[in-house]
Amino acid sequence: MSTSKTVTKDPICGMSVDESSAHSVKRDGQTFYFCSDHCRQKLLSAPAGTKPEEKSHDCCGYHTKGVAQEAEDTIVKIMTKAARLIAGL
């Protein structure tokens, strides 16, 4: 492998990130790389020497598509109910 690209893993969300373009932070003598500043802040906000819990992706918009879709469905239901009330049904 003679590529200069080094891909590593975001320790917060587990996404693959390119070290040359990733958000990074040095901590405990180690350099961590992140997909976004959001994930970087998450690690920084954790107590020194610990690793924040890995949880489902809430850092990158497209990871939460399912949740957004669910919310949209709920809004549509409420709007339908409201429209019926207004129409006097």
Rg (CA), the chain: 20
To the nearest whole angstrom, how small is the minimum distance from the Cβ of residue 3 to Zn ion?
Answer: 23
Question: β-strand 7-9 against 30-34: which pairing, if any?
Answer: unpaired
Q: How far is the CB of 5 from Zn ion (least distance, A)?
A: 18
**Element at 76 (helix H, strand E):** helix 65-86
Query: Strand 7-9 vs strand 16-18: parallel, antiparallel, or unpaired?
Result: antiparallel
Among 11, 13, 22, 32, binds Zn ion (CB under 5 A): 13
User: Contacts with Zn ion: how many residues (CB under 5 A)?
Assistant: 7
Assess 59 for contact with Zn ion (CB under 5 A).
Answer: yes
Interface with Zn ion includes 35 (CB under 5 A)?
Answer: yes
Write down the least CB distance from residue 60 to Zn ion, Å.
6
**CA pair distance 57, 50, nearest whole angstrom:** 19
Cβ closer to Zn ion: 49 or 62? Answer: 62
Position 22 contacts Zn ion (CB under 5 A):
no
Tokens 């549509």 correspond to: 76
43 binds Zn ion, rule: CB under 5 A = no
